Structure 1
Amino acid sequence: MPTRFDRVFIESSGRHLPGPPIDNAAMDAYIAPLNRMSDRIKRRILAENGITTRHYAIDADGRTRQSNAGMAADAVRAALAAAGRDLADIDLLAAGTSGGDALMPGFASMLQGELGAPPMQTLSSHGICASGVGAWQFAAQGIELGGHAHAIVAASEMPSRLFKKSRYAAKGYDADFDAHFLRWMLSDGAGALLLTDTSSGRNGLRLRLRWMHARSFSGDYPVCMQLGLTHDRGTSHLDFDAWGQAEAEGALFLRQDIRLLPHLFDIGVHEYATLAHAGWIDVPRIDHFLCHYSSERFAPLVDELMAKAGLAIPRERWYSNLVTRGNTGAASIFVMLDEFLETHTLKPGEKILCFIPESGRFTVCFVLIEVEAADAAAPSNALPPSGKTDFGADNSDSIAPPHDPADAPAALRHLLGALAAEWHDYRSSVWRTPLIRKLRDRRFTTHDYIAWMQAWIPQVREGSLWMREGASSIVSERYAELAGLIETHAGDEQHDYLILFEDYRTAGGDVENIDALRRNPGGEALNAYLHALAATRDPVGLLGAIYIIEGTGQRIIPALLPLMKASLDLPPNAFRFLDYHGANDEHHLARWLRAVEIVLASDHDGRAAQAILATARRTAQMYLMQFEHISVAESGSDTDNRSAPSQ
């Protein structure tokens, strides 16, 4: 849950953008096309990202005009000048970047040297977009704990040096799309904040930092954005015999796997919803939303996901300067905040919410800032005392999961919010199981695929049986329509296991009689639990099981399927079951939503909703156990795999 602050203020801000603005036509003088494909990629990417101007700290010949530390120093000087302070007042310097001018020492040390600053504590935060927020949070905690009275936070990026045409010569300019992509996305710049423990304010106002929240999902997903690994992410640049060889093999190209990006915003909106539901974000009272996204095409996606969650912030309250300043990575939120404060007239009581996602290996960050009158007393702390979520409370802003219809009736939102939280934890756990980790790391073999299906087929086979048993156990008149819906769903699913068995045989599975396949311990526990529950009177809790099982097919399987197809040398008809569920489970979930509506219409004491939630939680635990018990070959031959193709 977020880190709360009571005595941290943003005294001032500053930014530095090197050189004149460079428009799209002039980009080629700095970031030259590599081949005939480059121009097409450039047009496509610029049309999507919406950036019209940006800044570079190199000149048209590729020579460095200003260092990364130099840009950060200018941003720091601007922040200090805005507050009428100098370096002698500062006792903590925290700095973030994705790449300093030197591999060692840390960026904060290089910045301190560039500034000629007196002795002080420093902190270098390394990463990508979230590295600046990491530095910011460290400095704020130092002030909150009383260790410092004044701290400078800076973030600076200079990717242009990586994008010069000469750097691609060793590969004959034959770069893959992932390496092309970021050349037209990123630019140079720096931003800084001065944090203090007291503030006299400016223009009768002061900015109080209320809380910060950063959460990494690096254990759940493969690398999305990276520098220093080969295209297949299997070899580090340090593993080559010489730097030149690493460059020739493309290990020094900055890459981003854009196919993974939708997952980042899915995660981000789930975190946003969790914070809102727990009381940290009062959505109607957010007056300004500063959202860091790398492309204008992602703004409607974020907006849509927030709307589906019932937690939309009106677009007129959004602010971004991406179009004119470009994407400056870790510096973006600082550059954005500085320009926002410079161009907006704020009022006491207004709240500013910042959202910073990082695509490196998926981290999401949120920051809440409150505007106060300069002479205001310390605010009463209305923030929740803990991260506990009360799903029984009357909160119309509860989240409906993104894979449910956006127009879910308001009466369902409490339950949908609770289920979304369970789903968020379950999804994260699935991505960390040995089977999925092997798939993410491109070590997945046909043997692993077959082992998965051997355990899965008998589990799927039981699905229609426990559903039909559950439908026959519904005896109350008020659930008559529900019994029909479950029976229809069971009919849709009754022959699915045969498709999966045919996929198994196509992939090379050697068990000829489907009756010889056995569930693993997780699958056995899951089916025993669901059969037992289905035999009880009015087992409406089964809707929680269907939510998890169908959600897996509609949200997790589509993410895994491209990785499987890229890793396994198998014909398309070896993936028919997975293709089918990725495309059709969304319709099944619409039917599920109607079933839940029937149950809650007469659920006056909340017991049915709690039964659905409890069953979803237990089903997730046992479905996860089924994943964890699948045997994967950690050693042996991978000769039945092919290398992931260049995209």
Structure 2
Amino acid sequence: MRASYRAFDADFLRWMLSDGAGSLVLEGKPHTEKPSLRIDWIELKSYANEYETCMYTGIAHKNSPRVGNTWLDLATISEADKAELMRIRQDTELLPQIVKLSVEEYLRLIKRGRIVPEELDHILCHYSSHFFKGEIVKLLDEAHLSIPEEKWFTNLYTKGNTGAASIFIMLEEALNSGRFKPGEKVLLMVPESGRFTVSFALLTCVGPDAQLEARAATDRGTDAGRLSTPWRPGEISSLPPVARTGAEIAEAAANSPLGEGFDPGDDPMVRRLVLDLGIVWADFERMLRATPIIRRIESGQVTVKDYKMLLRNLRQQVMEGARWIARAASNISIELFPLRSMFISHAGDEHRDFQMLERDYCAVGGSLEEIVNTPKNIGSEALSAFMFHRASQPDPLDLLGAMFVIEGLGKHKAGRWAEALKKQLNLTNKEVSFLSYHGRNDDNHFERLRDVLTSGVVDDDVARRIVKTAKVVAR
């Protein structure tokens, strides 16, 4: 069974975890002499239904929990321990995903108004390694939501990673060292990879005089007896569990195709639009990962039959792309002539792409007749109807949202899928020309999109329509 172990998965926890315990005292009023921390709200969200188990023990490999592969198959616990079956392991290939999810959730809380970045005075974030702080900072920087270094506090380098106790030990040290002053806001951020849970809490430092405010609120019978955050139904995902063995570090909300390397300037509308589109992209990636064909490509299980099916269905969408872009161009008014030119240029770039798909299909053993005569699937029918409907409206600038999603697939996904298909199916560039081409060239289209967003033609109403169209197309 040892041959199936990934040794580093156990060594990572062995060297990255420290012993420690921490707790907080919760009371209904502030301390009479020292500063206290008021809990304004706590948010916790789990994505366990969408990811494989990250931490495990008692089995040789988490993907093979079968008879003969567990600690129960050995005569004694001692034998199981000698076989290293009792070591706690962590799938280190999945760890970057929890960083991405943490930043995504941070952006969602900003969108909902729960977090106002400018009002935060301190950030206490639990991370198991300095490496992960760098990844969080990188994603926040790319989302143009950087947090000044002086606001960060951690004692990882002196207390180590004590797991669930870390945030309490961190909070105790920061509070008792005098770091917090009355009136300051403290954000706690705890990403937990064990079951892919992301937690946030907002605290306010209050002085002893806050007792008077608390007593007055109690006397008035106001919200003292109620939760500060009323219960509300959660967002229940309908996605099935995602089965994959080597998850990539997916760019998501903070690192969407648009946000990467893009400076939205000081215009709050443009900054909000970039944030909204980033969240659309994060949701789209999550749905994409749950698609069976993508799961097979990313887990190394794809077949030539799968690839041919993908090409047949892609062609039916791609052949319509230049047509709806051209129709949209014909409905753009003369006052927006530069945008009309952009749409026409884009249509010119795209109108032969379906022929690459046909050549790829024939190169892997299919016939031109098969791919040409494949009927549209239901999703393609719905997408085409929607796109032509929107393209027929006056000045359909909301289609920039559609381009964001579609070109994002090329920029962030197509090239990776091409390389995965080549490796798994022993193909060459000749058989994956469509995906390879878009992986190399779609960034030019994003430059055009960025130029439009900062040109001054996009107002609040257009921005809302861009986001809505992006959401529809992402479905």
TM-score by length of 1: 0.59
Q: Distance in 2 between matches of 1:306 and 1:493?
A: 33
Report if the CA contact (8 A) 2:122-2:152 is conserved.
yes
Q: Distance in 1 between matches of 2:318 and 2:305?
A: 20
1:452-467 aligned within 5 A: 452-467=310-325
1:293 to 124, 127, 131: 127
Aligned to 1:447: 305
Aligned to 1:394: none
Q: Distance in 2 between matches of 1:464 and 1:294?
A: 48
1:242 to 56, 59, 73: 73
* Residue 531 (1) aligns with residue 365 (2): no
What is the CA-CA distance between 1:252 and the residue it aligns to? Answer: 5.4
Report if the CA contact (8 A) 2:23-2:165 is conserved.
no
What is the CA-CA distance between 1:539 and the residue it aligns to? Answer: 1.7
| Bigger helix fraction | 2
Q: Distance in 1 between matches of 2:294 and 2:418?
A: 11
| 1:209 counterpart SS class | strand
| 2:36 counterpart SS class | strand
Report if the CA contact (8 A) 1:292-1:332 is conserved.
yes
1:284-327 Cα deviation digits (max 9, x unpaired): 12111111222222223212322332322211110122223332
* Residue 588 (1) aligns with residue 453 (2): no
Q: Distance in 2 between matches of 1:549 and 1:480?
A: 23
Aligned to 1:171: 2
Query: Which amino acid is 2:274 matched to?
Result: L
Aligned to 1:218: 48
Q: Distance in 2 between matches of 1:564 and 1:254?
A: 34
1:335 to 169, 194, 197: 169
| 2:48 counterpart SS class | coil
- Over 3 Å counting, the alpha-carbon distance change for 1:386 and 1:469 in structure 2 is farther
Report if the CA contact (8 A) 2:60-2:69 is conserved.
no
- Over 3 Å counting, the alpha-carbon distance change for 1:202 and 1:507 in structure 2 is farther
* Residue 374 (1) aligns with residue 204 (2): no
Q: Distance in 2 between matches of 1:185 and 1:508?
A: 51
| 1:368 counterpart SS class | strand
Q: Distance in 1 between matches of 2:23 and 2:195?
A: 26
| 1:192 counterpart SS class | coil
- Over 3 Å counting, the alpha-carbon distance change for 1:490 and 1:290 in structure 2 is same
Query: Which amino acid is 1:233 matched to?
Result: N
- Over 3 Å counting, the alpha-carbon distance change for 1:356 and 1:187 in structure 2 is same
Report if the CA contact (8 A) 2:18-2:162 is conserved.
yes
Report if the CA contact (8 A) 1:543-1:612 is conserved.
yes
What is the CA-CA distance between 1:483 and the residue it aligns to? Answer: 1.7
* Residue 426 (1) aligns with residue 260 (2): no
Report if the CA contact (8 A) 1:543-1:596 is conserved.
no
Aligned to 1:198: 28
Query: Which amino acid is 1:521 matched to?
Result: I
1:30-74 Cα deviation digits (max 9, x unpaired): xxxxxxxxxxxxxxxxxxxxxxxxxxxxxxxxxxxxxxxxxxxxx
* Residue 407 (1) aligns with residue 263 (2): yes
Q: How many residues align?
A: 436
* Residue 276 (1) aligns with residue 110 (2): yes
Q: Distance in 2 between matches of 1:449 and 1:303?
A: 37
TM-score by length of 2: 0.78
The percentage of counterpart residues that share the same residue type is 33
Aligned to 1:153: none
Report if the CA contact (8 A) 2:323-2:347 is conserved.
yes
What is the CA-CA distance between 1:533 and the residue it aligns to? Answer: 2.4
Query: Which amino acid is 1:430 matched to?
Result: L
| 1:194 counterpart SS class | coil
Aligned to 2:352: 495
1:597 to 439, 443, 454: 454
Report if the CA contact (8 A) 2:22-2:166 is conserved.
no
- Over 3 Å counting, the alpha-carbon distance change for 1:577 and 1:354 in structure 2 is farther
What is the CA-CA distance between 1:491 and the residue it aligns to? Answer: 3.0
Report if the CA contact (8 A) 1:220-1:429 is conserved.
no
1:571 to 404, 408, 427: 427
Structure 2, unmatched stretches of 5+, are 234-252
| 1:354 counterpart SS class | strand
